[in-house]
Structure 1
């Protein structure tokens, strides 16, 4: 008969025992942990999991054909890496969200062309109101050009994009249409913002690539945690 020893995270214990029974193992001896030992092992396990996840992330950014020269092993650096990676990824997530919003605004602006929103504000200060509308081609009424000084800007994908320039702020009600809310920046500015966001995302990826040089430090930290877990389990076994 072979004797096997397993280290199981307590949340997985019942499921693990069930799997052993399915495999035909009938005699399981459990060394009970006191509360302090259980908390210590759980803390070590969570730390091991964080370090292992960090290693998986960095390995994705490691150039397999031309890896960076490894930095000298620094276990303390290895322990700090998960938090450092988390900050970089959180920043990347925020940048990605901003990028999606900016691209959506750019797509909405493209049919209207590049114009300075400040010019719209100047016209409003002079008593003129510019409203932006989008309707299906069949719903556009050429009479609006005379009645409301409508100007067609673009006809695209079965839609007509037009503006009205009047001294009447209630044109949307008269046309029974909802005016399009335009971004407060120009198309040119949005393109610049998108380029800047893409550049920052590339910088974040480069930061992660540079951190791959610290994989040996991360692996050393994982090895140390493994050793602490084994030592703690040996202490428990010795107590029994």
Structure 2
């Protein structure tokens, strides 16, 4: 059973076979352990764990994730979802490790705790002409290839309609042979309500024409974000 993305104080927030991402910010270890016990009591066995790359680029964030991942892995099957610096402005004064360095760190340090990771495209890259002309200039492409080389399965998350040309270039380059799943983002654009099904069908047709067996997964509601009390700070 997986955790969905409804608020945790809603009695219906746990449903079978839903696809939410959980974000555990740097807070109380004791409080988080109580949350884990609650999830286990509800029969949850699998979590999609959000990794905030900007949070990682802090001293407390690094220590927090080094404790969090193995702690959660004791109770759940994990899929790690890497937010590709879409929140980086909050940490502008911090030393920034690249997405490649962060993913490589998690694979080498915690790779025994997960087999699948999901990479989110940086929204700023959508307007970068260099990336539009050369898909291999974008970090998510190289990171995917490297993670695959290191033995991990990789999914692409938060793909939008505006990414259609980018996706077609990935198909032509045979890059998508490295991808297990594509998650279509239904939250960021107002036109999704009318275009999602058509977009899905189009991608499925393109994938089938190239013999690509890639799962297409529509996103769900806003991800769960556990804002745990400030007592017993972890780091």
Question: What band does the TM-score fall into relative to the shorter chain?
Answer: under 0.3
Larger relative CO (CA 8 A, sep 6+): 1 or 2?
1
TM-score (norm 1): 0.22
Query: In proportion to residue count, which structure has more strand?
Result: 2
Query: In proportion to residue count, which structure has more helix?
Result: 1
TM-score (norm 2): 0.22
Q: Highest CA radius of gyration, 1 or 2?
A: 1
